[in-house]
Structure 1
Amino acid sequence: MGQIRKVMIFVLSVFVVGCATNAAKVDFDRNTEIETIHYKTFAWLTKGKIMAPPADINPVMKVRVDDAIEEAFIAKGYKLIDDPEQADFTISYTVGSRDKIKVNSYPATYNTGFGWGRGYYGGRGYYGSVHMGTETSVRQYTEGKLAIDVYDVKTHQPVWHGWATKRLTSDDKETPSVAIRDIVSQVVNSFN
């Protein structure tokens, strides 16, 4: 009996930690027709660096993202050059955010032991009239998205598209440089 209890506590702990973390969701798509193993140099696709900037972009945040992307590719061993025509690949990015609402609705007895609390069967047995109230929680949050694109200079073809989405927390808003560098690093690390 003690072993089962330990396993249940462990599983519950893993579940709670998994729900509590607010990690970015990172993914990518790659053009397998183009080999990237020979890449050594990169440049920005355009002088503006960002592709189609949002109308309300914060110019200070833009500079942070520009710098973080450059630093991440340099940290992977690529050399930044000024002339896009002389580079092995070019890069660009897009950013955005949207306000979202998450609504959860649970039976009122959910919080008293996974629905088996008092009143689960309406207090009338299995076949009685069941009228159970619900508890609803509404949370509003902002989800940010960053996408980085890599283009092959010789073929003028897209090679790689990496992106991250993340629920923005108050910590992210208070220390944006840390959050930006972390997310950019995660996205660029998936490029090979």
Structure 2
Amino acid sequence: MIKMKSILLSSLMMLLTACATPGPRVNFDKNPNVDISTAKTFAWLKESKALHISVGFNPITKAHIDKTIEETLIKKGYILVGDVTTADLAISYTVGSRNKIQVDSYPVTYQGGFGWGRGYYGRYGSVGISSETHVRNYTQGELAIDFYDVKSKQPAWHGWATKKITQDDKEDIGKLINLVVTNTLANF
């Protein structure tokens, strides 16, 4: 009975984990020739703050991304300065989305059987396997944050995150932005 309860509990945990919305996939790359370990200040590379934003991008969402990046870096101990020439690091970002298609195909049925005779009592050698295919459209969002060493004018660090955008993400875009920015900058 205890084994049955533990198996049932394990199955329930796996089911709940599988249904959870996955977080963003995050990665980063740093320039080994640029040392930014002593950097204390940052400024935006451009007045617009973003290197590239697609046409029609929501300006309120852009403002929220700007603010979240600034707040996250300030929490990490960096100081925002107004003039990029006096900063240790210049930062910028790109954001975008792309519609994608996911196709899943897997076997679902086994048809056939072994008969005891001909006609009414069964059939011989009739075996078939069919498959079922699911096609889903989804939107994948991406945010990339770049840091440049102001003195050497070299790229120093590039971090990016991609995430399949769900309906919940669309309904609470602020929560999504906070999640993606903090996860991306966690490795900085």
TM-score, normalised with respect to structure 2:
0.85
Q: 2:106, 2:163 → 1: CA distance? A: 25
How many residue pairs are counted as aligned between the two chains? 180
Any unmatched runs of 5+ in structure 1? Answer: 110-118
Local SS of the residue matching 1:82: coil
The structure in which a higher percent of residues are strand is 2
In the aligned structure 1, how far is the partner of 2:11 from the partner of 2:39?
44
Deviation sequence 1:30-61 (CA, Å, 0-9, x none): 11121121010000000010002211211111
Instruction: Give aligned-pair identity as a percent.
Output: 47
Over 3 Å counting, the alpha-carbon distance change for 1:33 and 1:56 in structure 2 is same
What's the offset of the Cα at 1:133? 2.1
Tell me, yes or no, if structure 1 residue 123 matches structure 2 residue 113.
yes
2:150 aligns to what? 153
Q: Look up the match of 2:120.
A: none
Shift of 1:15: 7.0
Partner Cα distance (1:156, 1:8) in 2: 58
Q: Distance in 2 between matches of 1:9 and 1:134?
A: 31
Q: How far apart in 2 are the matches of 1:178 and 1:5?
A: 36
The letter for the 1-side match of 2:184 is V
Matched residue type, 1:135: E
Task: Provide Cα deviations, 1:150-183, integer angstroms capped at 9, x if missing partner.
Answer: 0000100001000000111111111111110111
Max Rg structure: 2
Separation in structure 1 between the aligned mates of residue 14 and residue 34 of structure 2, nearest angstrom: 40
Matched position secondary structure for 1:92: strand
- The answer for the alignment partner of 2:164 in structure 1 is 167
RMSD of aligned Cα (Å): 2.3
CA deviations over 1:90-142 (Å, ceiling 9, x no partner): 10000010111111112123xxxxxxxxx36x3249x9343222222221111
Q: Distance in 1 between matches of 2:114 and 2:25?
A: 46
TM-score (structure 1 length as normaliser): 0.83
Trace 1:177-188 onto structure 2 (pairs within 5 A).
177-188=174-185
Q: Which residue number corresponds to residue 21 of structure 2?
A: 21
User: What are structure 2's unaligned runs of at least 5 residues?
Assistant: 116-123
The separation in 1 between residues aligned to 2:66 and 2:77, in whole angstroms, is 17
Counterparts of 1:173 and 1:29 in 2: how far apart (Å)?
A: 29
2:132 is the counterpart of 1:135: yes
The 1:124/1:13 distance shift into structure 2, 3 A limit, reads farther
